[in-house]
Amino acid sequence: MYLLLLAAGLVFAFWAWKHFSNTENSSAALAGAPKPGGGPVTVKVQVMQPEPYSQQIRLSGSLVAGESVQLVTESAGKVVFLDLKEGQSVSKGQLLLRLNNDDLQAQLRKQEVLLIELKQREMRQAALLDQKGISEQEYERVATELASLEADVAITKAQIAKTEIRAPFSGRVGIRYISEGAYVSPNTRIADLVDDRNMYVDFGIPEKYASRIRNGLSLNVLVSQHPDTFAARVKALEPRIDRTTRSQMARAELSNASGKLVAGSFARVLLELNRIENALLLNSTAVVPELNAKKVFVIRNGVAEPVEITTLDRDANRVLVDSGLSAGDTVVVSGILKLRPGSVVKILEVQ
């Protein structure tokens, strides 16, 4: 009986020890730690090396022609002259359209004849005044009539100018919407005149970047219809931030001498805010986010140690490290879930 009780006690002690060992190993495995005797954790690492980095933001914008105007008349009337060929280039001051102004032209000729006669009369009166042949009141009466007639001539010429359309700048004519002989009014759209040899790109700058943008800043512009990148320079900034969008409107100027850009096109603006020559860029998969911090695992003497870092910027795959790491540090970028502070590691690949 004593031997049976002793044997039963030994069996129970062995079972309890085995059960405790299995439970402990299972808990360690669930926690991500390697099992005793399982060897080091296999990881991929990145060795930190300084490299140039350009901090850029991508913004959306629209292309605007350097000069653009919708041609309309200042008065109503019948079109008697039309020199608008679609797509043609015109020079500044060139006559493009004229309305019927025969009545004004006749009125102007009459006024000019009277003006010549009145000028001669004023000269004679001035000579008589010098010889004391007339009083100053008589001369002033003639001088006043002359000044009044000259003003009438100027008014008539202004009215005639309102019946004409001259090119305000050199450019290209767009689609023509009327024909010669049509009756037009100031609300009638005649055609568009555009000068797109120089163009602008208008875009909004988020409020947090507004203080870092200034006139003369260089940027690059991309458009969907062309693979090339176009260089531009900030020309003007709105003096305030829009309360609705919380952004500041900016305008940059670029050359379109090749004629590849079309006004109204959607544009991508690549704006360089800062350039760092010796930046430390880390693969974003290495960063473990915590409640109020970010940490990475650095390998030192074959052991993984957690290090808290701060970052300044990021792109699609990398983050710009501000503090916490130095050049030459070996940082784990793959296999992080298996690591615990003090874990022994085996490097499988160096990126």
The 10 Å Cβ neighbour count of residue 199 is 24
Q: Is 293 within 8 Å of 308 (Cβ atoms)? A: yes
Number of helical H runs and strand E runs in the chain: 4, 19
Stated as kind and residue range, the H or E segment containing 279 is strand 266-283
How far is C-alpha 176 from the chain's CA centre? 32
Burial class (CB in 10 A: 0-12, 13-18, 19+), 23: exposed
Predicted confidence at residue 260, as pLDDT, reads: 87
Mapping DSSP onto H, E and C, the string for 100-112 reads CCHHHHHHHHHHH
Q: Could you tell me how far CA 217 lies from the centroid of its own chain?
A: 12
* pLDDT score at 275: 82
Q: What is the pLDDT of residues 5-33, one digit of tens each?
A: 777 777 666 666 665 555 444 444 434 44
Distance in angstroms (rounded) separating the CA atoms of residues 104 and 161: 10
pLDDT of residue 181: 94
CATH architecture of 57-66+195-274: Beta Barrel (2.40)
Specify burial of residue 286 (Cβ count, 10 A radius: 0-12, 13-18, 19+).
buried
Q: Other C-beta atoms within 10 Å of 80: how many?
A: 14
| Location of structure tokens 């969008």 | 245
pLDDT at site 276: 86
Q: Is 144 helix (H, G, I), strand (E, B) or coil?
A: helix
Regarding beta strands 345-350 and 41-47, do their DSSP bridges make them parallel or antiparallel, or are they unpaired? parallel
Q: Is 0.75 topped by the overall pTM?
A: no
Q: Do domains 34-53+277-350 and 57-66+195-274 have the same CATH topology?
A: no
What is the spatial distance between Cα 27 and Cα 335, in angstroms, rounded to a whole number?
A: 19
**What distances in angstroms separate CA 149 from CA 71, 119, 157, 201, one per listed residue?**
32, 10, 12, 50
Q: Note the pLDDT of residue 25.
A: 46
Radius of gyration of the chain (CA): 42
Contacts made by residues 140-147, CB under 8 angstroms, sequence distance 24+: 142/118, 145/118, 146/115, 146/118, 146/119, 146/122
- Domain boundary assignment for the chain: 34-53+277-350, 57-66+195-274, 72-184
Strand-strand pairing, 183-184 and 226-237:
unpaired
Alpha-carbon gap, residue 131 to 176, rounded angstroms = 64
Q: Which fold has domain 34-53+277-350?
A: 2.40.420
CA distances to 44, 284, 336 from 341, rounded to whole Å, are 17, 20, 11
Per-residue pLDDT of the chain (351 residues; tens, 9 = 90+): 777 777 777 766 666 666 555 544 444 443 444 444 457 899 999 999 999 988 888 899 999 999 999 999 999 999 999 999 999 999 999 999 999 999 999 999 999 999 999 999 999 988 888 888 888 888 899 999 999 999 999 999 999 999 999 999 999 999 999 999 999 999 899 999 999 999 999 999 999 888 888 899 899 999 987 888 899 999 999 999 999 999 999 999 999 988 889 999 999 999 888 788 889 999 999 999 988 889 999 999 999 999 999 998 887 789 999 999 999 999 999 988 888 899 999 998 898
